[in-house]
């Protein structure tokens, strides 16, 4: 860098000195933009709408008194210094930053406001978990609980009366699709491709597991959960077995067909049991 000494003894920077100054200014500008950019860990997706329950951290560069941590109210608003209540629900993080900056500028509170907004906790992204789970309800999604099995765990898991195949109603690109997913197979086969990522607005429904009924000469008559590939002998064991007065010969099954008609079948111990079968164990004649 060349320098010239003026007649009064001061040093004047030449053309190279001006380039250095411009370089330093550009570095400073990049640093400012980096400081204003939302942190990757807390930033919402670019098109994700803010909603009630979300927690946000707002920074106004150069005005630390305006930095705010807030929770979006049920009305979709936050309390912001100087501005009072401002509605940001239904906006993306970028649109909310612009709205706050415009209000600060229009109110002449800050000449050229530079606003950043980080979502520290996004509770407005929720899914519904219904049916045969321990705690039915709506649950907030985050980066660590967006898989199907994660959300079922939040709801306390499938209850003893619940089916292993769950129904997920997913909405993608304006279209709703119904998916039936066997959760047991996810663990049995280690196949995580069916452990789908659920998104805001999805609904998980766990229907009641299929049952069969057994009565007559058995120790414990009643309704029981139908296990996969269960046969008549296994069904009898679930009911405590045949009583001393009963017989394994001549067992009958009352079975309802698809059209609602009821038929009576003579069953063998190796026959498969179907959902809603009614198994009757007769009394021995001898």
pLDDT-above-90 percentage for the chain: 57
For residues 115 and 101, give the distance between their C-alpha atoms in angstroms, rounded to a whole number. Answer: 6
pLDDT, one tens digit per residue, over 162-202 is 999 999 999 887 788 999 999 988 888 777 888 998 988 89
Can you list the domains of the chain with their CATH numbers?
3-36 (no CATH), 55-121 (3.30.1950.10), 126-206 (3.10.560.10), 211-281 (3.10.560.10)
HEC profile of 170-230? EEECCEEEEEEEEHHHHHHHCCHHHCCECCCCCEEEECECCEEEEEECECCCEEEECCCCC
Residue 40 banded pLDDT, cuts 50, 70, 90? very low
Residue 258 in this model has a pLDDT that exceeds 50: yes
For residues 169 and 205, give the distance between their C-alpha atoms in angstroms, rounded to a whole number. Answer: 8
For residues 64 and 259, give the distance between their C-alpha atoms in angstroms, rounded to a whole number. Answer: 72
Residue 63 in this model has a pLDDT that exceeds 90: yes
pLDDT of residue 116: 94
Residue 13 banded pLDDT, cuts 50, 70, 90? very low
pLDDT of residue 14: 46
Work out the average pLDDT over 212-223. 95
Residue 31 in this model has a pLDDT that exceeds 50: no
For residues 97 and 101, give the distance between their C-alpha atoms in angstroms, rounded to a whole number. Answer: 6
Taking all residues of the chain, what is their mean pLDDT, rounded to a whole number?
A: 83
pLDDT, one tens digit per residue, over 222-257 is 999 999 899 999 999 999 999 999 888 889 999 988
Residue 35 in this model has a pLDDT that exceeds 70: no
Residue 44 in this model has a pLDDT that exceeds 60: no
pLDDT, one tens digit per residue, over 146-168 is 889 999 999 999 999 999 999 99
For residues 145 and 152, give the distance between their C-alpha atoms in angstroms, rounded to a whole number. Answer: 9
Residue 4 in this model has a pLDDT that exceeds 60: no
């Amino acid at each position: 860098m060349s320098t010239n000494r003026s007649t009064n003894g001061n040093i004047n920077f030449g053309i190279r000195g001006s380039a250095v100054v411009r370089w330093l200014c550009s570095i400073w500008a990049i640093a400012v933009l980096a400081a204003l950019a939302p942190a990757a860990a807390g930033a919402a997706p670019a098109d994700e709408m803010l909603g009630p329950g979300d927690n946000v951290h707002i920074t106004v560069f150069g005005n630390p008194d305006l930095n705010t941590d807030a929770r979006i109210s049920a009305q979709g608003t936050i309390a912001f210094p100087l501005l009072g209540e401002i509605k940001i629900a239904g906006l993306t993080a970028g649109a909310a930053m612009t709205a706050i900056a415009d209000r600060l500028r229009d109110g002449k509170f800050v000449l050229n406001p530079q606003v950043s907004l980080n979502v520290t906790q996004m509770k407005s992204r929720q899914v519904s978990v219904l049916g045969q789970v321990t705690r039915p309800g709506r649950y907030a999604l985050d980066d660590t609980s967006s898989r199907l099995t994660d959300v079922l765990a939040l709801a306390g898991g499938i209850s003893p009366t619940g089916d292993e195949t769950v129904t997920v109603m997913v909405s993608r690109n304006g279209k709703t699709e119904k998916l039936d997913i066997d959760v047991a197979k996810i663990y049995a086969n280690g196949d995580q491709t069916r452990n789908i990522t659920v998104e805001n607005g999805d609904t998980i429904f766990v229907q009641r597991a299929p049952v069969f009924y057994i009565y007559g000469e058995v120790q414990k008559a009643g309704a029981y959960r139908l296990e996969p590939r269960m046969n008549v002998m296994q069904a009898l064991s679930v009911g405590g077995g045949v009583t001393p007065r009963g017989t394994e010969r001549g067992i009958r099954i009352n079975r309802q067909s698809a059209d609602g008609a009821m038929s009576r079948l003579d069953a063998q111990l190796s026959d498969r049991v179907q959902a809603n079968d009614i198994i009757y164990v007769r009394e021995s004649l001898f």
